Every structure is written in structure tokens, then in C-alpha cells.
Structure 1
Amino acid sequence: MSRPNLRVNAPLLGARRSGPARLLAAAGLAAAAGLALPGPVAQADTASVRCSVPDLVEAIGRANGTPGADTIRLAPKCTYTLVTADPGSPANGLPAITGDLTIDGNGATITRPASAPAFRILFVAETGDLTLNRTTVSGGRATDCPLFPGEGVCGGGIYNLGRLTVNRSRVVHNSAVTTVDNLFAEGGGIDSDGTAATVNDSEISHNTAAYSGSTPSSAEGGGLANDGPLTLNRSRLTDNTVSVADNTDSFAFGAGHAAFALTTIEHSTISGNRVRAVGGTALAALATGSPLPGQATSLSMTDSTVSGNTTSAPNGVAVGGGLGTNFPVTLTRTRVVDNTATAPGGTARGGGIHIGRTGDLTLKDSTVRHNTAHAPGGTARGGGMSSATGGTVRTDRSHIRKNTAEAPDGGTAQGGGVFNAVGSTTLTRSSITDNRAVEGGGIFKESGTVTLNDTTVRGNRGNNCAPPGSVPGCTG
């Protein structure tokens, strides 16, 4: 299984990898397993573990060796400090989870100190099913990518190839970082490529995915990345980072979350995350890849907030300060606010949201506000929202207001609220108000179609719509 060459296959909204093949393989394994003869009924086992790394390692090994579900209870508020990798799986600090295991952390921390050799903390194998409760995972540093061996580093804190559930836990200060040419980095906190993952009431923060080689490559998913189905509930993805080496024509995207498969986000916050790609392409705190032909892939986000994120690409291309998508995304009762796409000397598109060539965005009862596309001496398009290369946008009862496209020092600034080219934007029972740009303070339509249905466009500066007459029903 190989990863497509980014320069050839990646549109401005990042790269799409061949993760779905992994899902088909998993489905085949599951079907084959269903043909096996039933074994004896297994009994659940519960073990309490002292504040001792050897005892924790032994308990996991024992759980792996017994059929049925097992539970390990950690010592309350203990810090389990891993100073060496597991001999049986040297890319991981603890033995690979191969069975059905629940770890009840009781507020404990499992960590790797900076002085230790590099390894991630937890690895869930294809046969594994891990539930992690009230545990902090920190300090992990990925050295491999099991789904794509030899091609990258993935999952600094946790890597999942099976089933993973994280409840009321923290995944903080982990990293997936590579200095090797052509290798990619993915999922600084968590990388889930398995059959299912769910994160509930948890914090994923201060994690990093970074590439610093000398040839084109990518880094994605500073906090979280998924090539398999994922659900995020009542959780926070904050202060994560993604970066690539300067001037290598590389891609950096998804500082908080990079989604490549079916994703559901509810009652969650993605805030304060940062993407940086000097002379390259930087995309969004919440970013999706491109779908494979025939694959039913989408992202839905409900009652959530994407705020205060920054996408930066000096002398390059910065797209989507908050959200960037190349497959179907639906936002319902969601706020995209105070995000920035900045590209001094380059191109900034979509301070709040950028829709790519194959993107399809639906906004329902949502707000896009106080976002900025900033490109001193360059080109800024779509302070609130940009659909610059195609794609489809639909809004219903949504509001795009007080966004800005700005390009001081002689640059071009178009579409303070909305920029549209090639594709189509349909605004229904919505409003575009108090946005700013030199041309098309409310809407700039370069090409494609923009349709207003019972929608207000007013109070925008320097004008409501440009070029004059380009948007039927919009004047001033």
C-alpha cells in the first residue's frame, strides 16, 4: 500500500491518502472472523495496578493473553513514566493492545520524558479494542506509521488500527515529527486508522505534527487524524500545531484535526491551533482530504465552535483559517469565528472557511464571523468564506458578518464575506452584513454562480457585491 505523491495528487486542500483500502481489509478480516467456530465463553477480569511501570506492562501482557474483556485500574493520580520502549514493539512505550481492554486511569498519567528514546505511548493493534478512561497520555513521539510502513510517522500519543474509545481523558504534548526526506508526519496526538474511534469529554492539546526534510512532503493532524471512522463528542482540540520545512513546496494541514474518512463532531471546540508552511501550502485547523472514487465520506459538525485558529504561509498559499474541505461537510448550529488565513507576499483564501474543487459545504443555522484573509503585498480572497477553485456551497438561516479580506502594501483584496469562482453558492434565508474588502465587501463573484434566496446583503464595505451586476438581487 503506497501513499500518493503529494505534488501530483494534492489539490490546494491537502493530500488524500489510501486509507480506505485499510478499511476494506479490516472488513474482510472481520468477515473471515465471523466464520470461525465459537470458543468457550470468556470471563471478564479486573486487575488493580500499583504505581509501577513494570506492573502496568505485566498487566497489559496478561490481558492480551486471556480471552474476553479485561479491565486494568491504575493507581489514582499516579504518573507512570516510561523510560524505555516495549521490547516486543519498540515503536511503542507499552505492549501493543491486542485484545478487549479497558484502562481506568483514576486521574493517572502515562508519560515519556524528553530524555527517553523516541516512542509513542499506546498502540491498538487490528485485533485490539481499547477503552481509555480518565487518563492523561503525554510525551509520546512517533517513529513509525504501521498502516504505511516506511512512509511516515503517525500517532505520537496513541495509534489505533482496531477500535478505540477515549473517555474523560487528556492527550497532551505528544508529537509525530520527522526530519527524513519524503516521509510524512500525521496525528501528533492521536492517529486512528482502525475500524472505529470515539473521543468523549476529552482534551487533545499542545500536540505537534511536523516535517523538516528538504524535499516536498506533508504534515497533517497536529492534534488528531483519522483514516477510519471517528466520532468526537464534547471535546476540545486546542493549541495543536502543524508545520513543514520552509520553501520545500510541502503541505501542512489540519492543525487541530485532519479527517480522511467518515467523521462526526458534536458539542466540541477546535481553537487556538496553528498551521505553518513558509513558501508552501497551509490549510485549516479542521481539514478534510479528497474522497476516493466510490467512497461515501463526509464530515458533520453540530453545536460546535471553530475559533481563534491561524493558517500561515508567507510567500505561499494559506487556505481556510478555520475549516478547509474537499469532501461533503455539514455545519449545523456551529460557529466559525475569529480565524485567520495569512500569506504575506502570497495568497490567502477563506479566513473562516475554504471549499476546494470537490468540496460540498452546507451551513445550517450557523455563523461565520470576524474571520480574516490577510495577504500584505499579495492576494486575499474571501474573508469569511472562499470557494475559489470550484465546489458547492449552500446556506440556510446562516449569517456571514464582520469578516475581512485585506491585502495592504499594494495587494488585491476581494470578497470580504464571500468569494466565489467556478463553482456555485446558494444563500437561503441568510445574511451577509458588515464585511470588508476593497472589492466586493459582501460578495465577490469572479465566475460560477451566486444565488440569493430571501437573503440580505447590506452594510458591507467598500461595496455589497462586485463586479457590479454579477450577483442577481444584490446592489450597492
Structure 2
Amino acid sequence: MLQSGEEMLRRHLSALALAVPMVAVLGIGSAAGAEPQVSIPCDVAALNSAITAANDNTGPHTIRLAPRCVYNVQTPASAGGLGANALPRITGTVTLLGRHTTIRRDPDASESFRIAEIDGPNGRLTVEGVTATGGGYLDYGGTYLPTDGGTLILRHSVVTNSTANVGGAIVVNQGSTLEVHDSVLRNSAAQQGGAIYNGPRSTTLLKHTRVEGNQATQFGGGIFTAGTSLTIKNSHISANRAFDQGGGIYNDRAPMDISSTTIADNRAGLMGGGIANYGTSTLTKSTVRRNSALNGGGIWQAPSFGVLNLVNSRIVDNTPNNCRPVGAVPACTS
């Protein structure tokens, strides 16, 4: 029997109404084709439990943190060979999604600990929309430590106010990987690598990132690299300080590729206000300006240690000179 147009429309609207609750239910957990997630309250114990479950594959790998929450950690949840950590060690795949969310070491905590250690070969931590602060007072990695082949990926995040002897904010250790996208690393301190220490056999990539206001008592106020590669794209390395060499960056005999990046207003006590280069490096479409040092205000290219190639780049307005020794950086005028 043929249905009238009005009756068919009623049946169609009725079917749509029945479907709506099903869509809402799928949205809470794992919508078809989406990664399962768990949302946790503003509670450190809940965060630790969710990370442990993700490590053990007994819970979702993606953890949605409480928005505008400060997860204030008073005592460490784990310890490794290189110090204690606010969170359980990351041994599996874990993603932390925040929205104006902070994870911090309590300013009154009596123990020294970083925020997170990511243990290879299977440890992989992705952090998005999170400020990590206050960690450290350790030998290695004040905030994050990917080690033994671990991977750390930061997106739209901030790392600040941390300290360690090596890698005030982050140490990339023993063949590990660091990626930092659209983030800020600021106001951290170390002897070497005020913000980042890119260690042997490790790789670091920075894109659309600011490294600013960090300091080192020795080398690499912003970044120290001795790794397999350091790649910096569309970023700013600014207002960092090293009391010895490499106010912005210290390259210890490693490959380094910098493009579309500004290195400005950094200082070094001795050489290389912007960059102290002891490796093979290329600067493409980049600017090194207003940096200062005792010598090599812009760039110090160590004799007999690699080369620094300039491709459509500008080294200008550095104090007391742009590049030293004279002639060590082709196309750089004093």
C-alpha cells in the first residue's frame, strides 16, 4: 500500500530522532574509526592511574585532562636510573590532551623530580595543550627525558621554569627522538643546554617554536646538540644566555639544519652569541641578529671543526662582530 508524502516524512523524522542518542553515546567513548579516549578529573592519582592503564594496554592510550586544571604533584610517582618523575614512566603509547592545563612539581616539594621520563624502545608520549613547569633539580632533564630510544612529541605546549645540570627543560638521551611543534620552551637553566640537550645518537626537530629566556652556565643557553641531527624550521631562538659559548645554540660536532628561523638577542660570555658551531651546519633563509659575545657576536665557527653554510641568510647587527674567525663563515661580513 502506497504511503502518503506526509506519512513518509513522519517516519523519516522518527528514524532520525532514534539515531541521535546513538551518535551521542559514540561521541563519549570511541566514535567509529576514532581513537578511544578517557577523560579524567583534576586529580593527580587519576592521572597516574590512567597513564598506568595506557602503558599496560588495559585502558585508552589517549587521556583527556581536565581543562584549566593544575595537576600539582607533591611526590614522584616513579623513579629511573636518571632520577625521579612526577608521572609513571612512559613505557607504551600515551597521549595527554589538555586545554589550558598545567602539570607542575609543587614549589614546596621536598624531593627533586622531573615531570616525565619516556622509556624506549616502546615509550612514546605526545603532549598537547599542556604547560609543564617547575620540574628538575636533577642531573638530566628538568621536565622531560626521552631515553633509550623513546619518543616525545610536544604540540601547542609550554615548558618553563625547570632546571637540571644537563638539559634544563629536556634531555634527548641515547638514541631518542624529540619533536616540538607550535610550542614555547622558556626560562629554564642548566650547565649545558638551558632548554634542550640533544644527546648522542638522538634527533630533535623544532617547528614553529620559540626557545627564549633560557640560560646555561657553560654551553648552549638555548640548545646544546651533539646528536644525529638537529632541525629547526620557522622558529625563534631568542634572549638566551650562555656564560661560556653558544648563547642561542652550541653545536658539538653534529649535523644541524636551520631554515626560516630567527636567532636574536642571545648572549655568550666568550664566543658565539647566536651560535657556536663545531659541526656541519646550514642556515637557509634565516637571520642571526643583535646577538653579543666577547668574540663572534653572531657566529663563532671553530677552526678545523666542520663548516657553516649560509643560503639566503643574513648575519647582521651583532656585537662586537658578526662572524669570527674572519673568513670562517663564507658570505658573512664582519
- C-alpha change, 1:403 and 1:169, in structure 2 (3 Å) is same
1:201 aligned residue (156, 159, 163)? 156
Name the amino acid aligned to 1:259: N
Name the amino acid aligned to 1:338: D
Please say if residues 68 and 100 of structure 1, whose CA atoms lie closer than 8 Å, have aligned partners that are also in contact: no
Aligned partner of 2:272 in structure 1 is: 350
Q: Please tell me whether Structure 1 or Structure 2 has the larger radius of gyration of its CA atoms.
A: 2
Name the amino acid aligned to 1:396: V
- The DSSP-based 3-state class of the residue aligned with 2:152 is strand
1:284 aligned residue (221, 229, 234)? 221
Aligned partner of 1:35 in structure 2 is: none
Name the amino acid aligned to 1:225: V
Aligned partner of 1:245 in structure 2 is: none
Aligned partner of 1:308 in structure 2 is: 239
1:189 partnered with 2:189:
no
Name the amino acid aligned to 2:296: G
Instruction: Give the CA deviation at 1:46.
Output: 4.2
Please say if residues 290 and 319 of structure 2, whose CA atoms lie closer than 8 Å, have aligned partners that are also in contact: yes
1:418 aligned residue (310, 315, 323)? 323
User: How many residue pairs align between the two structures?
Assistant: 291
Instruction: Give the CA deviation at 1:123.
Output: 3.9
Name the amino acid aligned to 2:276: H
Name the amino acid aligned to 2:263: V
1:445-456 aligned within 5 A? none
- C-alpha change, 1:319 and 1:120, in structure 2 (3 Å) is closer
Please say if residues 69 and 100 of structure 1, whose CA atoms lie closer than 8 Å, have aligned partners that are also in contact: no
Aligned partner of 1:102 in structure 2 is: 95
1:79 partnered with 2:79:
no
Name the amino acid aligned to 1:426: P
Instruction: Give the CA deviation at 1:62.
Output: 4.3
Aligned partner of 1:224 in structure 2 is: 170
1:381 partnered with 2:286:
no
The 2-side partners of 1:100 and 1:263 are apart by 19
Please say if residues 307 and 336 of structure 1, whose CA atoms lie closer than 8 Å, have aligned partners that are also in contact: yes
The 2-side partners of 1:424 and 1:108 are apart by 46
- The DSSP-based 3-state class of the residue aligned with 1:400 is strand
Q: Deviations over 1:417-454 (max 9, x none)?
A: 21138x95333xxx63xxxxxxxxx1xxxxxxxxxxxx
TM-score of the superposed pair, with normalisation by structure 2? 0.76
Instruction: Give the CA deviation at 1:395.
Output: 0.9
The 1-side partners of 2:114 and 2:77 are apart by 10
Instruction: Give the CA deviation at 1:372.
Output: 1.0
Name the amino acid aligned to 2:184: R
The 1-side partners of 2:289 and 2:241 are apart by 15
- C-alpha change, 1:48 and 1:186, in structure 2 (3 Å) is same
The 1-side partners of 2:79 and 2:300 are apart by 49
Please say if residues 68 and 99 of structure 1, whose CA atoms lie closer than 8 Å, have aligned partners that are also in contact: no
2:213 aligned residue (255, 267, 272)? 272
The 2-side partners of 1:393 and 1:114 are apart by 42
2:129 aligned residue (168, 187, 190)? 168
Aligned partner of 2:245 in structure 1 is: 319
The 2-side partners of 1:264 and 1:370 are apart by 25
Name the amino acid aligned to 1:241: A
Instruction: Give the CA deviation at 1:44.
Output: 6.9
Name the amino acid aligned to 1:319: Q
Name the amino acid aligned to 2:316: R
Aligned-pair Cα RMSD in Å: 2.8
1:259 partnered with 2:198:
yes
Name the amino acid aligned to 2:288: V
Name the amino acid aligned to 2:167: G
Aligned partner of 2:17 in structure 1 is: none
The 1-side partners of 2:65 and 2:276 are apart by 44
Name the amino acid aligned to 1:324: Y
- C-alpha change, 1:424 and 1:92, in structure 2 (3 Å) is closer
Please say if residues 341 and 350 of structure 1, whose CA atoms lie closer than 8 Å, have aligned partners that are also in contact: yes
Please say if residues 67 and 99 of structure 1, whose CA atoms lie closer than 8 Å, have aligned partners that are also in contact: no
Identity score, percent: 32
The 2-side partners of 1:188 and 1:57 are apart by 19
The 1-side partners of 2:322 and 2:35 are apart by 57
Please say if residues 188 and 207 of structure 1, whose CA atoms lie closer than 8 Å, have aligned partners that are also in contact: yes
Please say if residues 81 and 113 of structure 1, whose CA atoms lie closer than 8 Å, have aligned partners that are also in contact: yes
The 2-side partners of 1:111 and 1:308 are apart by 24
The 1-side partners of 2:78 and 2:177 are apart by 31
1:396 partnered with 2:318:
no
1:299 aligned residue (230, 233, 256)? 230
- C-alpha change, 1:417 and 1:70, in structure 2 (3 Å) is closer
